[in-house]
Structure 1
């Protein structure tokens, strides 16, 4: 209608990113992975988003915020009716909500939503009250799997969809770390030789290790928590100094999951059980002696078993 040719061709990635409130890199990832991208080209052959393309992206973003996996959200958006028809929409979406994916009407769902609301409000005292109440009532493992993980996963999905909530995740993680650290060590531990807990070299996601330390303490297992970004040399030194019955190493991301250095850890006597967890490890290159656990209950059971034989 008389506008500049590029404007008539559609919107660039930066303009669409600003409109949706997401990073331009997120739009490029959605285009590359799911085929939900610009369908027009400007006079200079730059790819441009038509109104229908933007409408599909808005549908996809809404569905992700409501808890749908990105691939499924993209499929629904690509199959959406033409502009002017009612758009697919999940119930309960909100720009200031965390998609926690809990079944409505249950006591646990109410608790999860309450912690999510406190997190979005950056209300640290309310978060701490909810976390301490769950730990006291349910214990570490049940509180972790039933309350903390759903909220953390929801924050992660919201961040993936919008690029937002870094502050929310950091504050909630800090509250969780503080509350988990309050779980007292056992007065009469099962093990005479401690369990060492550490993150892989350069791995900064230490919250799961703190949760494991608290769960083991609750189970009567004495631990030594080394925390984030533990170099192989430091872990080897700790093994020699403390003579542990077991060593657990966590890797959250692929960049920290190269297991090549695990074979170089000291072969102490009596033997040390080496256990690893986390989605970062390269599973096709693990040493034969390593035991892999896939959940907090499994990690607790494996390390409790090692402690009983120490």
Structure 2
């Protein structure tokens, strides 16, 4: 799950496209029978795979649907400070239709940092693009076909840019509270952004990230990322604490977080074709925008604007849900994604 310290809410961008009078098209809701979980699913196993001159950890969720039914492949991209385990429950639910793959971005989870230490948005895009090509080319049913790309927060922004760069590899695009550029933010967050852009400050931030017990830091993260942290099962809480301890033992984890945040903020300054709002208008794949109306990290009012900017998009706003809908409401999120896939089948 994301591990972002500033408890701020980004406001509407000054130059985001406006919504039409009728608003964006609402997402559908698939009626397909989904598996009934008997308890939390353990994290899916994975392996190291080549990506952008290095390697990343890629988890695999086997297909569990009708052998004779429609099937495809999905790639799931986590947010800032998150990991591939953020997708455990959603991947299990979508397995009725998709063989799933979830990566740890370079420097996160079980992926080592890039060889040159670069954490710009462009570098994350290159890594995801390499993994996407690998997933599409794997042997078995669906080989050579475009992949259904799903991203959250930072991973949503990266996924959007990948979809623009490689439309041949993206069958559909689902963006869950993506970190779209914002240009007017609260004063306290303004100062935090300015500090991250100054030389030397990210190094100080790396040290502060590890202050406090892992349990306390996990609870702080849950408070920011979930609409209602009480929805988190004890097993998931224990997994998050164990993952925090794993990060504490990695020399690069603090650097990956602060430098990726810096890369995200820097990307917001781009104008013209390099701007993500401009890029959204060039997405060719059918798209779905999912947002929780209790998102504390990115203003939910961005949701209809993004769904309008995308040429072929549907919108699902989930009441009472926070920044990580795939974790807090996996079934509702899955039904909207499956409805998109059913629509594209037709």
Per the normalisation by structure 1, the TM-score is 0.34
> Relative to total residues, which structure has the larger strand share, 1 or 2?
2
Task: Give the number of the structure whose alpha-carbon radius of gyration is greater.
Answer: 1
Q: TM-score, normalised by structure 2?
A: 0.31
